Chains A and B, each alone.
Chain A
């Protein structure tokens, strides 16, 4: 079904994963992890859970390799039969929609607070969603090309901005390492694993890859780079604000940027810069999930994709506006995270075993 031009290189596939993974979560990641773990050791958790997710990712890729050129919405039918596949497909679509809505909501909340105070939410969101729609109507390839441009800009500027805070950094805030044993690290695994949701996009991207045999490579790189970014963020935020100081901050990563001013440089303040580049990341997460949901609908119901893209826009908007306050928004974020662990952590393994038992799909070496 895939047209020739709808093919992705390995780098583009990795860019898809990275851009999807890095989203609104990073703005609250230090708080959620430290609250769960209670010690500064969460930087160990983020590395461990990264490895764990990599394992899940590789299982997922292995599953996809059995069904070349097919997305999850198409091949589950072969494994489980029509009805289960239908239910599963709808759940996955709902999942993508919720993430999409969550990103929109966080973006609207944060810009309303720090960037465009006074601009109505619908005005910010509307522009954002329409541009997103315009992008995804161009297909996977135009998306991939945009992500390739976004990715280096955001990563370099983000790391640069974070390191500018090094004046505030105190190594004592990160010590003692493993002061309360290994337990806090284990407790930190849950929220840190949630930070890695996004690798599931390979369920769809794999179908478009020019060299699907390099799927594992794309997956590993797609997880390693966010791992590095998360690690830097956690170390810098904890080192600068201390675990006590950031537990009470709503957006710790942004507050880190607000905690220093650099005189003599062209710019004195960097939170707006960080927010502006990070909105690009949120935008890419939003568009990927929107696209994935639309694609899911079109393949599940065997209809054209464009109408679904349009129909889903207001649905995403409504879901985004459901949480009544910031706390509800965070709860929604956590909820999708948990769903993703079951859906894409355990799901692929079950499907893979099932497909092996029922001898569905092709073998590859």
Chain B
């Protein structure tokens, strides 16, 4: 009996092994369309959609936006799919576009025209065109994306100056624009002209806090991309109100203390030759000053770095006096940049995105509570003083 029982147990275990291993609802990766980039544009129906609609293949919807999904690896498009711009040979990705008014519905529409359903687990970059965000708030546009349980909050958010579709296109064979954009964002440690990466998770926090915020912008020309400045979003509406150019973004990075890497160029006397300073470290401190009902700010910036380029001809020896002169020159350039961005914030756009409110919130929570509601307006009237100190530690590998 016991022998029979043992044999039975072994047999049963082996059977269990066969029947219980494996995945219930597994899907083979070859049968899925993995999208890595997502673009949102102002509605513009493609030829394909128009001709489908002409044949009665439409469903009730408003054309509010056009979404682009970037699928990798490229699956040979069917004959009727439009040859999108820049669909050159050897492309590693496929950009699919559809128009609609509900992102989720549009995504499910893909199931009607592709044999491989979309999955969002590997979405890396979301590009929103700034035109679209003039009309709709980011909260509306990204609502589905924040709710979806496939898409991870680690996806980066960028704003395109042109269309998001262009930003997700590339002429370079083998290049995948979504990965490319992600890589450039990671370069923020090489330049203070790139904003620190803003992931969905961080963006959600910014949107919920009600303060105005910045998003990295990307410009596309001739199929190539460049990061240039940042787009400003108003806290109350989460809509686009303006942009900073590169110089203003640099100025901003000095105030926030994010200018940890990068270059400062200036022209030194007597003949105005180029000199460049490499930032090695920066400390910035925003101090709110409360006097009665008056709020003011003082920004103290201290930076250390190297003299990395000097075009003086004939060569001026790096004496202490010369270095000190240069330090003042560089500090002036930085002040000029800060001045420019402060002007944009306080006068042109009347928003505050440099973290002044944050410091006030931390140091004077009671005062902050009073001014929080109308902070952007209030800030435009607040005097800000700044003080920039530069220290050239050495002059690189060359001494003169």
Contact = CB atoms under 8 A, between A and B. Distances in A.
Contact of B201 (A113, A168, A180, A247): A168
Contacts of B199: 168, 259-260
Interface string A227-242: 0000000000000111
A119 B209 contact: no
Contact of B154 (A117, A247, A248, A261): A261
B205 A118 contact: no
Nearest to A259: B201
Interface size class of A (residues with CB under 8 A): 20 to 34
Nearest to A242: B205
B361 A179 contact: yes
A152 interface: no
A172 interface: yes
B153 A258 contact: yes
A179 B362 CA distance: 7
A255 B209 contact: no
Interface of A: 113-114, 116-120, 123, 168, 172-173, 175-176, 179-180, 240-242, 244-249, 255-256, 258-261, 269
Given A114-B149, A245-B201, A245-B205, A123 B24 contact: yes
A176 B361 contact: yes
B153 A117 contact: no
Interface of B: 23-25, 146, 149, 152-154, 199-202, 204-206, 208-210, 358, 361-363, 365, 369
B82 to A, nearest CB: 32
A328 to B, nearest CB: 19
Question: Nearest 10 CB-CB pairs, A to B?
Answer: A245-B205, A118-B25, A179-B365, A244-B208, A259-B201, A242-B205, A119-B24, A244-B209, A259-B153, A175-B362
A140 B208 CA distance: 48
A259 B25 CA distance: 25
A119 B153 CA distance: 24
A117 B202 CA distance: 26
A259 B361 contact: no
5 contacts: A114-B149, A179-B365, A180-B365, A246-B205, A269-B152
Contacts of A258: 152-154, 201
B201 A241 contact: yes
A260 B197 CA distance: 11
A260 B149 CA distance: 15
A255 B361 contact: no
**B154, B200, B202, B362: most-surrounded residue (chain A CB, <10 A):** B154
Contacts of A118: 24-25
Contacts of B200: 259
Contacts of A116: 23-25
Contacts of B153: 255, 258-259
Contacts of B369: 180
A215 B299 CA distance: 57
Contacts of A245: 201-202, 204-206, 208-209
B208 A172 contact: no
B178 to A, nearest CB: 14
B280 to A, nearest CB: 21
A255 B358 CA distance: 24
B288 to A, nearest CB: 12
A118 B117 CA distance: 15
